[in-house]
Amino acid sequence: MMDHSKYLESLFSFVDQSPTSFHVASNAATRLEAAGFTRLYEADSWRHLNSGKFFVIRHDGGLIAFTLEGDRETPRPFRMAGSHTDSPSLRVRPQPMQLHQGCLQLGVEVYGGALLAPWFDRNLSLAGRVGWLDEQGELHSTLLDCKRALATLPSLAIHLDREANNGRALNKQTDLVPLLGLSAESSPPDFTQWLKEELKKQKTEISVAEVLDFDLFLYEPQPLTQIGLEGELITGSRLDNQLSCHALLQGLINAEVPGNAMIVLNDHEEVGSATPSGAQGPFLSTVLERLYPDPDVRQQVIARSFFISADNAHAVHPNFAGKHEPDHMPKLNQGPVLKTNANQRYATTGVTASLFRSLCKKAEVPCQQFVMRNDMACGSTIGPLTASQIGVATVDVGVPQLAMHSIRETVGHLDGWYLMRVMQTFFEAEDAAVCLPEL
């Protein structure tokens, strides 16, 4: 098992290098390749695949990695775990450049359920994916991370709005336009021209003739930071859900898997998951179909498999303890949280929770529980989507955190490490230990 200080080093470098879901998949791929996994392409035939370690990326933001053992006519269970690669953010509009009062501004759209107030007065950078033509007219797509601070979203001074501290409403169209610089020109510069220059500067090995389009997001380039009197907390961007992606990835990489194991990193959870690389799309089911083409064998595989859906949970906030169910208050650094909901917003059942608890015991990791108050609406995640898409027995769990969907979130320094240890224990468990008991 990876020790705690190595874990922190690994987590920090993973998140700091992953400003978007595309970077999560790309960095995961780099780590998988270094650990002996071979990349497969969906456009190739998988008919002759033998035992081994593989991964496949869909549409740059979704990734499935797996180990395969034995022939593909004999059903063997998968130890499966999933999380999501995306985080709420501000996405650059197709025609973003604006010029008002000599201020150059960048038009953005809100991606997902972002907590918007914390986005103000931060240093913001840009990252994502750019589509471009080379000198020969061939189309390419390249990841871009500007890394340096380029923009900010300045607040209105308190003197110009005395009610600012009394719950000022935020208009996403008019208040949320980041400042990108100053200009004495009469019209704003061309954004794709600027992007072309930026690409040229960063990727000297490519020759860009023309930038055609892009998927770019703003992010805060401040790295993850360990804080607290004893260093017991970590603050940083996108911990929901890159902390889980990292735990699953390292759990799989570090494990000696005795059979089949799989991690599913879906994109677009924050916007409903109904996309080709999202949990409501066909990514996982098509991979399973190709690994076990015989439907009868495949159903036997799924019926014996177990899926751990990992997405961060709400730790109790000391200033707002009344927002939690009094007997279910997850605390930071006290272990992964089992999430249950009577109305199936989470896929956890008493039996799937029992299996997860048994894994925590084996990994010597504490475990907590979350259930939403009856007088508040419950969120959801990829667990119920995956469970209802393919019919696999599923448990919803997550690392407790504060400030979910803020630009800077807070977690305990132990919980991600605990989750990674449970994952490794799960991936290393014998086939019989990952099958659910039946009545």
Given the rule CB under 5 A, which residues bind Zn ion? Answer: 240-241, 311
Tokens of 190: 């061309």
Q: How far apart are CA 377 and CA 30, in angstroms?
A: 39
**In degrees rounded to 5, what are phi and psi of residue 105?**
-130, 160
User: Considering the complex, what minimum distance in angstroms separates the CB of residue 309 from Zn ion?
Assistant: 10
Is residue 430 within 8 Å of residue 257, measured between CB atoms?
no
Shorter beta-carbon distance to Zn ion: residue 125 or 241: 241
Three-state secondary structure call for residue 365: coil
User: Considering the complex, what minimum distance in angstroms separates the CB of residue 311 from Zn ion?
Assistant: 4
Shorter beta-carbon distance to Zn ion: residue 240 or 415: 240
Shorter beta-carbon distance to Zn ion: residue 152 or 341: 341
Tokens of 14: 């993973």
Nearest to 400 by CA among 167, 239, 160: 239
**In degrees rounded to 5, what are phi and psi of residue 415?**
-65, -40
Nearest to 331 by CA among 406, 412, 231, 408: 412
Shorter beta-carbon distance to Zn ion: residue 105 or 241: 241
| Residue position matching structure tokens 């990876």 | 2
Shorter beta-carbon distance to Zn ion: residue 237 or 241: 241
β strands within 158-224, DSSP E: 179-182, 208-219
Helix (H) or strand (E) holding 154: none
Strands 125-134 vs 409-412: parallel, antiparallel or unpaired? unpaired
Shorter beta-carbon distance to Zn ion: residue 116 or 195: 116
Residues β-bridged to residue 62: 58
User: Considering the complex, what minimum distance in angstroms separates the CB of residue 240 from Zn ion?
Assistant: 4
User: Considering the complex, what minimum distance in angstroms separates the CB of residue 403 from Zn ion?
Assistant: 13
| Residue position matching structure tokens 């871009």 | 144
Q: How far apart are CA 153 and CA 324, in angstroms?
A: 32
Tokens of 112: 């997902």
Name every residue whose Cβ is closer than 8 Å to that of residue 27 and which is 6 or more positions away in sequence: 14, 17, 18
Shorter beta-carbon distance to Zn ion: residue 21 or 241: 241
User: Considering the complex, what minimum distance in angstroms separates the CB of residue 124 from Zn ion?
Assistant: 21
User: Considering the complex, what minimum distance in angstroms separates the CB of residue 177 from Zn ion?
Assistant: 27
User: Considering the complex, what minimum distance in angstroms separates the CB of residue 418 from Zn ion?
Assistant: 18
Shorter beta-carbon distance to Zn ion: residue 216 or 239: 239
User: Considering the complex, what minimum distance in angstroms separates the CB of residue 77 from Zn ion?
Assistant: 26
